[in-house]
Amino acid sequence: MPDLKPPQLAPLPPLPAIRVFEAVARHLSFTKAAQELGMTQAAASYQIKLLEERIGAPLFLRRPKQIELTEPGQRLAPAVSEAFAILGQAYAAARGGADGLLCVTTVLTFASNWLAQHLGSFQLAHPALAVRLDTSSRLTDFAREDVDLAIRSGGGKWPGLEAHKLLDADFTPMLSPKLAASIGGVREPADLLRLPILDPGDIWWTQWFEAAGVTGHDLAKRPGSSMGAQAYEANAAMAGHGVAILTRALFKNEIADGRLIQPFDLVGDDGHAYWLVYPTARRNVPKIRAFRDWILAEIACP
């Protein structure tokens, strides 16, 4: 009987070129891809040229100041992204203990004002799964970082990622009762301009005052100070240092306890929300599915 030979793999393109293609397709920029991969733009362009020669067709349309994927490039990009996601998953498993660790990256205020207050019920339901939280506002590169899920604020459309809406990122002014009393109470939106405004350069302030019909405000002339996170601004507001513009759903406890007051029902909404995101290729990984199902059910509870 003749020996059975394993089937031969289909010929693969140069893997360095594929890695460059994935980065350029994701950023739609040779410059950003080269910076990410630690190479020159010329080297990145050379790798793409090699790949295009192998395929026999251009993968990008080079236009002034921008590039676009061609039809072959559009067919190749999602398959390459999924392949890197699968490789990343296999690498994590090979390192050992990956299935027992869930890595979640989220913005600071969502972590401190919502997730930390609810996470205990997830741990009780999944005692064998340890959760590692990372607080960051930068975009996550799932293909290069040891991250399972991310919670971010935005419009909810990110190529290659599944996105589940958690909370509306609406906004409205909040302040301490003591600060409001210092001017005899806040009765109309213009009264807020008699008080210190925290982060007056935040676009939310301009949008909210416009919706309230307040014109001629001096926000642009006020000293600019940004604390970088709603959690910090809320703490400053509770200490009586000024008026903060905050997302209601993240400060329910502070309002209920009387540490903050929301003087007006008017709420701004720029269409952004907090989203749970993860690579589409990993949507059926058990630990990702477990966290997704838990947080969506937890958010749905009143």
Q: Is 87 exposed, middle or buried (0-12, 13-18, 19+ CB in 10 A)?
A: exposed
Q: What is the pLDDT of residues 190-212, one digit of tens each?
A: 999 999 999 998 999 999 999 99
Q: Domains of the chain: which residue ranges?
A: 15-95, 101-168+272-300, 171-257
User: Could you tell me if 179 and 253 are in contact, meaning their C-beta atoms sit under 8 angstroms apart?
Assistant: no
CATH of region 101-168+272-300? 3.40.190.10
Alpha-carbon dihedral sign for residues 283, 287, 289, 292: negative
Widest Cα–Cα separation across the chain = 98
Domains 15-95 and 171-257 share a fold: no
What is the DSSP annotation of 253-269? Answer: HHHHTTSSB---S--B-
pLDDT of 99 > 80? The answer is: no
Q: Among residues 128, 158, 126, 127, which one has the least CA distance to residue 140?
A: 158
Say whether domain 15-95 belongs to CATH 1.10.10.10. Answer: yes
CA 220 – CA 2 distance, rounded (Å): 83
User: Could you tell me if 210 and 279 are in contact, meaning their C-beta atoms sit under 8 angstroms apart?
Assistant: no
> Could you count the other beta carbons within 10 Å of the beta carbon of residue 91?
11
- Per-residue pLDDT, averaged over 80-101, amounts to 70
**Please, which residues have CB within 8 angstroms of residue 268's CB and are 6 or more apart in sequence?**
170, 171, 172, 204, 207, 208, 211
Q: What strands lie across the sheet with 101-106, from one edge to the other?
A: 130-135, 101-106, 149-154, 273-279, 161-168
Task: Give residue for tokens 């990622």.
Answer: 161
Q: What is the pLDDT of residue 97?
A: 43
- Per-residue pLDDT, averaged over 76-100, amounts to 72
What is the bridge-based pairing of β-strands 244-246 and 149-154?
Answer: unpaired
Computed over every residue of the chain, the mean pLDDT equals 89
pLDDT of 300 > 70? The answer is: yes
φ and ψ at residue 88, rounded to 5 degrees: -65, -40
- Per-residue pLDDT, averaged over 141-158, amounts to 87
Q: What is the pTM (predicted TM-score) of this model?
A: 0.67
Under the banding of pLDDT at 50, 70 and 90, the label for residue 98 is: very low
- Per-residue pLDDT, averaged over 117-144, amounts to 87
C-alpha distances (whole Å) from 102 to each of 118, 149, 289, 298 are 16, 8, 11, 18
- Per-residue pLDDT, averaged over 98-120, amounts to 89
Under the banding of pLDDT at 50, 70 and 90, the label for residue 91 is: low
Angle (deg, nearest 10), helices 30-37 and 15-27: 130
Under the banding of pLDDT at 50, 70 and 90, the label for residue 73 is: very high
pLDDT of 20 > 80? The answer is: yes
Segments in the chain forming alpha helices (H): 15-27, 30-37, 41-55, 71-95, 108-110, 116-125, 177-181, 203-211, 230-238, 252-256, 286-300
CA 138 – CA 29 distance, rounded (Å): 18
What superfamily in CATH does domain 171-257 come from?
A: Periplasmic binding protein-like II (3.40.190.10)
